[in-house]
Amino acid sequence: MFELLTFYHNSVRWLVCILLIVALVRAGRGYWADLPFTRTDNLVRYWTGGVAHVQLLLGMLLYFQSPLVRYFFAHQKEGIQQMSLYFFPLLHGGLMLLAIVLITIGSALAKRQVDDLKRFKSILVWFGLALLLIVIAVPWPFSPLAARPYFR
């Protein structure tokens, strides 16, 4: 079960990143070129939020089944002293949750705006901040916090 969840989680995370980039490119183009907010823009906004929420559910299921998270909470004194032990239970999980919250806020604000420029601006700001948090929370191979290889 854990391996299957990991597979879906790994697949959906790329979809979230791709949709975020597509939404940001469309919002940037629409904002700076003063284009109308089209049905396609709205669908990209909608699907970005929806897929992000699916990723959140998959991530939470993995989080509570993770042996690393279980070990951290069973040995908190030791875990706090080693960055690689508290990265996933605290930093990665918290920043990714915050990124999903920012996507949700940005999507809701863009949906409620009546002016097209304000819709694009909401998406640019909130989705951009979410993508920045996601990039920060990724365990890059060069990260001093929790180095992971690009491919396992």
Residue 147, pLDDT score = 65
Of 131, 141, 144, 112, which Cα lies nearest the Cα of 16?
Answer: 131
Question: Structure tokens of 67?
Answer: 């042996």
Can you say how many angstroms the Cα of residue 42 is from the centroid of all Cα atoms in its chain? 19
Per the CB < 8 A criterion, the answer to whether 53 and 15 are in contact is no
Q: Provide, for the chain, the percentages of residues in helix, strand and coil under a 3-state DSSP scheme, each rounded to the nearest 5.
A: 80, 0, 20
105-133 per-position pLDDT tens digit: 999 999 999 999 999 999 999 999 999 99
Q: What is the 8-class DSSP label of residue 149?
A: -
2-35 per-position pLDDT tens digit: 777 777 777 788 999 999 999 999 999 999 999 9
Of 111, 147, 115, which Cα lies nearest the Cα of 126?
Answer: 111
Residue 101, pLDDT score = 97
Global confidence as pTM: 0.88
